[in-house]
Amino acid sequence: MSGHEFHVHGPHDHELEHAQRGHPGGHGSGMVNHIALFTAIIATVGAIFGYMGGATQANAGLYKNNAAITKTEASNQWNYFQAKSTKQALAEFARDMATDDKKPAYQAKIDRYEKEKAEIKVIASKLEAEATHWDTQSDHQMLQHHRWAQATTVLQVAIALAAIALLTQKKWLEYAMFGTGVLGLAVGVLATLHL
């Protein structure tokens, strides 16, 4: 404003000046700017946490599926083992009932079945151990999923508190919002550290 002109400020002009200077009560006040920035950051971090929660849930399902498939393969091997045991028992019965000249042939079958059973048992035991490993991995991923979901939920509560703080202009709500946001980030750190 020059010294020779007359200028009248309207209420709208006064509010714009306050907003530009960051005075409390203006639309660009420090509280509003802090909450807006906080909300943008927390929403971004929350989106990342949400993605991680979904990824770990998908992994848990995949690992559980692998465990089920491997358990089925192990069961098939144990059924095969049982079939060989039945054949061996029948060969032992036939050997015991056979004449002396036929006993060596039945004994050879019995020995073959015993060897085959040992091989099958190794495969079945290995598959059972693999299935247990997949189950453990699935459980671990579900724990991770729950931790990511907890972190995402706490961040969503922080965003809701931010909206309420903006509407009410209550400083204590702003502090609660920041505290909840920090808590959500801490839970996300726990998820990252697999705790």
Query: Helix and strand tally (H, E) in the chain?
Result: 4, 0
- The domain tally of the chain equals 1
In a domain, 106, yes or no: yes
In a domain, 170, yes or no: yes
Question: Which amino acid appears at position 10 of this protein?
Answer: G
In a domain, 31, yes or no: no
Least confident of 19-28, 34-43, 84-93, 171-180: 19-28
In a domain, 15, yes or no: no
In a domain, 2, yes or no: no
Summarised one tens digit per residue, pLDDT across range 79-121 is 999 999 999 999 999 998 888 999 899 899 999 999 999 999 9
Going by pLDDT thresholds of 50, 70 and 90, the confidence category of residue 122 is very high
Instruction: Give the per-residue pLDDT at 137.
Output: 93
What does the pLDDT average to over 46-52?
90
**For residue 148, pLDDT beyond 70:** yes
CA gap 161, 164 in Å, rounded: 5
Q: What percent of the chain is modeled with pLDDT above 90?
A: 46
In a domain, 6, yes or no: no
What does the pLDDT average to over 147-167?
89
Instruction: Give the per-residue pLDDT at 80.
Output: 92
Instruction: Give the per-residue pLDDT at 12.
Output: 46
State the residue range of the domain holding 144.
36-192
Mean pLDDT of the chain: 84
In a domain, 25, yes or no: no
In a domain, 87, yes or no: yes
CA gap 49, 99 in Å, rounded: 75
Going by pLDDT thresholds of 50, 70 and 90, the confidence category of residue 7 is low
pTM of the model: 0.67
**For residue 28, pLDDT beyond 80:** no
Least confident of 5-9, 57-61, 64-68: 5-9
Is residue 46 a contact partner of residue 152, using CB atoms and an 8 Å limit? yes
Show Cβ contacts of residue 156 under 8 Å, excluding neighbours closer than 6 positions: 46
